Structure 1
Amino acid sequence: MRAEVSLEAPAVPGVGPLPLTEREFSLFQTLVEREAGLHLGPSKQALLVGRLSRRVRALGLASFGAYYRFVTARGNEAEQVRMLDCLCTNETHFFREPEHFAFLRQRVFPEWTRRAAQGLMARRVRVWSAGCSTGEEPYSLAMELLAHFPPGSGWEVEVLATDLSTWALERARQGLWPVEKAAGIPRPMLRDFMLKGTRSQEGWMKAGAELRAVLRFARVNLHDERGWPAGPFELIFCRNVLIYFGAEARGRALSALLRRLPPTGHLFLGHAESLTGSAEPARCVAPNIYCAKPAPAPGASAT
């Protein structure tokens, strides 16, 4: 195996944080929430300084005020993408929240099999990992799906992995991780779907061809539904993403996610998240797992 792009965030010149005035922080708060839905409360001021100082210096700018003017200037959309890359939190691991994967094995997959046998469901499954970070979640989903619906079984599987961060998406596309990450992967899946690096790639593992065949990647801003993929998706995983959104942006995103589920689809949220703020009817079927609930017909009473 050979890695074709760097796995590390690019180094930039300059050391130490730059000073940030309250007014400058307020400007960045408004900009980031407007463009990406991310809410930077007062406690996040040090985070913003720490993550953007090196970017400011890399551009040869003297202050955050100068950087704000630069990043909001017409024609500098690419720098806005770089800025949001710096502010994204990319924390994940394989098979995170194992109870969600147990729910798939014990309840969802048997139901799909039953419905397909009765002609009530096509043998085609679309899954969306919304906020995929560096890829551990969508690759985990692909392994789980292919273990139960392997190529040649008559089932077609597609996993769409999206994120706001272009840097994280590039790492996800590579499908290459330190072998220490293998600790979270069940041994049979590790054997069947991952390749162990040798020689120059010793100490690394890489996703095999079967996984790569079912995965697609795209940059998607969850704050702007106009750029979202069209549904429906039988499964949507959006875990530990919307906790960073402001209340209004979070409610809109949750409603839009639920609208992309068929009646039998499932939305998976993180353990600290809920549907608070969503205007779409839904029902909880397990901790942090939801199904879209059709609105009652006119004149009918909701239960």
Structure 2
Amino acid sequence: MSDFTRPLAPPPVLTSRELALFQALVEREAGIHLSQAKDALVANRLSRRLRELGLTSFGAYYTYVTERGHEAEKVRMLDSLCTHETAFFREPQHFELLRERIFPDWIAQAQAGRRARSLRVWSAACSTGEEPYSLAMSLLEAFPRGSGWSLEVLATDLSTWALERTQEGLWGLERAATIPQPLLRAYMLKGVRTQEGMMKAGPELRALMRYARVNLNAPGEWPPGPFDLIFCRNVLIYFGAEARSRVIGGMVQRLAPTGYFFLGHAESLIGVDVEVRSVSANVYTPRGGASPRY
């Protein structure tokens, strides 16, 4: 019996033509612009799908995902190409603004009878859930149970894989490093036995959460407003200019008059015609609204 087998077939090569096909498809479907420099990323992330389907070229895979009846595989393709970088309380200055300025203003407005005691928050492109759960912790600290406030955090993402992780609300303990200790102790459960080394969102957080798969490039499928907070951070940097303008415009339309729209630190409204005014770095409110500048 021989101790040798046939050599493995070389991995398929992504040609420039095939890359162009996937670039056009992904931008059309999801608004995400894949530059020429992303060829290695596209090849690496889609190679697994080729192997699992028994396909020998990226061209064959493109034909497969664009055929009628293969919509589920198109979703898997987009899942593979999504970036899931995130962290709890990422860009902490935004959470400081909420805690020190915005939330106290809303409480004062409610006490004066100028607003309802209800808040709706949308974490768009929530990835694996660190952002929406950070928002939920922040809300519960400012508006605790029994205070008479109705709270809702909607977590959405294009990736079904990421959304499943968000709904699960389970992370490795190493992800806890950026959660303030009082919030970690109050709202997270530490795993024991088979879950040792893990942490799970507690029931108070879960009571606030809602989940939905949302394609930001398809505004007709978006949740209805108004929202008091919309966080859409560090995702529009991957969009083309036209899609970015369309997304920002649609989100601003879903803001309450005293609501706030948050972008990531590397994003801006340059080149986007939208009726907002800046209240802080990468934080905007509808123009003509009653929100102060911080």
Residue 267 of structure 1: which of 261, 265, 274 is its match? 261
Please report how far the alpha carbon of residue 290 of structure 1 lies from its aligned counterpart in structure 2 after TM superposition. 0.6
User: How do 1:131-146 residues align onto structure 2 when only pairs under 5 Å count?
Assistant: 131-146=125-140
Residue 147 of structure 1: which of 138, 141, 147 is its match? 141
Give me the whole-angstrom Cα distance separating, in 2, the residues matched to 1:24 and 1:113: 54
**Alignment-derived partner of residue 5 in structure 2:** none
Give me the whole-angstrom Cα distance separating, in 2, the residues matched to 1:278 and 1:216: 30
Please report how far the alpha carbon of residue 17 of structure 1 lies from its aligned counterpart in structure 2 after TM superposition. 4.5
**Alignment-derived partner of residue 73 in structure 2:** 79
Q: Is 2:54 the counterpart of 1:60?
A: yes
Cα deviation, 1:168-191, whole Å, max 9, x if unaligned, reads 000011101111111111111111
Give me the whole-angstrom Cα distance separating, in 1, the residues matched to 2:271 and 2:157: 22
Give me the whole-angstrom Cα distance separating, in 1, the residues matched to 2:176 and 2:75: 31
Please report how far the alpha carbon of residue 276 of structure 1 lies from its aligned counterpart in structure 2 after TM superposition. 2.4
Give me the whole-angstrom Cα distance separating, in 1, the residues matched to 2:179 and 2:21: 43
**Alignment-derived partner of residue 213 in structure 1:** 207
Residue 41 of structure 2: which of 47, 51, 54 is its match? 47
SS at match of 1:172: helix
SS at match of 2:17: helix
Give me the whole-angstrom Cα distance separating, in 2, the residues matched to 1:46 and 1:235: 36
Please report how far the alpha carbon of residue 67 of structure 1 lies from its aligned counterpart in structure 2 after TM superposition. 0.4
Give me the whole-angstrom Cα distance separating, in 1, the residues matched to 2:158 and 2:271: 22
Give me the whole-angstrom Cα distance separating, in 1, the residues matched to 2:177 and 2:214: 29
**For residues 105 and 16 of structure 1, do their structure 2 counterparts lie closer, same or farther at Cα, with a shift above 3 Å needed?**
farther
Q: Is 2:276 the counterpart of 1:282?
A: yes
**Alignment-derived partner of residue 223 in structure 2:** 229
Q: How many residues align?
A: 282
Q: Is 2:23 the counterpart of 1:23?
A: no
Q: Is 2:257 the counterpart of 1:253?
A: no
Contact 1:130 1:236 in 2 (8 A): yes
Please report how far the alpha carbon of residue 292 of structure 1 lies from its aligned counterpart in structure 2 after TM superposition. 1.3
**For residues 15 and 102 of structure 1, do their structure 2 counterparts lie closer, same or farther at Cα, with a shift above 3 Å needed?**
farther
Please report how far the alpha carbon of residue 278 of structure 1 lies from its aligned counterpart in structure 2 after TM superposition. 2.7
**Alignment-derived partner of residue 183 in structure 1:** 177
**Alignment-derived partner of residue 26 in structure 2:** 32
**For residues 284 and 63 of structure 1, do their structure 2 counterparts lie closer, same or farther at Cα, with a shift above 3 Å needed?**
same
Percent of residue pairs identical: 64
**Alignment-derived partner of residue 118 in structure 1:** 112
**Alignment-derived partner of residue 292 in structure 2:** none
Residue 241 of structure 1: which of 213, 228, 235 is its match? 235
SS at match of 1:264: strand
Please report how far the alpha carbon of residue 22 of structure 1 lies from its aligned counterpart in structure 2 after TM superposition. 1.2
Q: Residue 257 of structure 1 aligns to which amino acid in structure 2? A: M
Q: Which runs of no fewer than 5 residues in structure 2 stay unpaired?
A: 1-7, 290-294
Q: Residue 148 of structure 1 aligns to which amino acid in structure 2? A: A
SS at match of 2:86: coil
**For residues 109 and 247 of structure 1, do their structure 2 counterparts lie closer, same or farther at Cα, with a shift above 3 Å needed?**
same
> What TM-score, normalized by structure 1, do the two folds share?
0.91
Contact 1:56 1:62 in 2 (8 A): yes
Contact 1:16 1:53 in 2 (8 A): no
Give me the whole-angstrom Cα distance separating, in 2, the residues matched to 1:164 and 1:17: 28
Q: Residue 50 of structure 1 aligns to which amino acid in structure 2? A: N
Contact 1:261 1:292 in 2 (8 A): yes
**Alignment-derived partner of residue 190 in structure 2:** 196
Give me the whole-angstrom Cα distance separating, in 1, the residues matched to 2:286 and 2:11: 46
Give me the whole-angstrom Cα distance separating, in 2, the residues matched to 1:15 and 1:206: 43
Contact 1:131 1:241 in 2 (8 A): yes
Give me the whole-angstrom Cα distance separating, in 2, the residues matched to 1:271 and 1:256: 20
> What TM-score, normalized by structure 2, do the two folds share?
0.94
Give me the whole-angstrom Cα distance separating, in 1, the residues matched to 2:129 and 2:192: 22
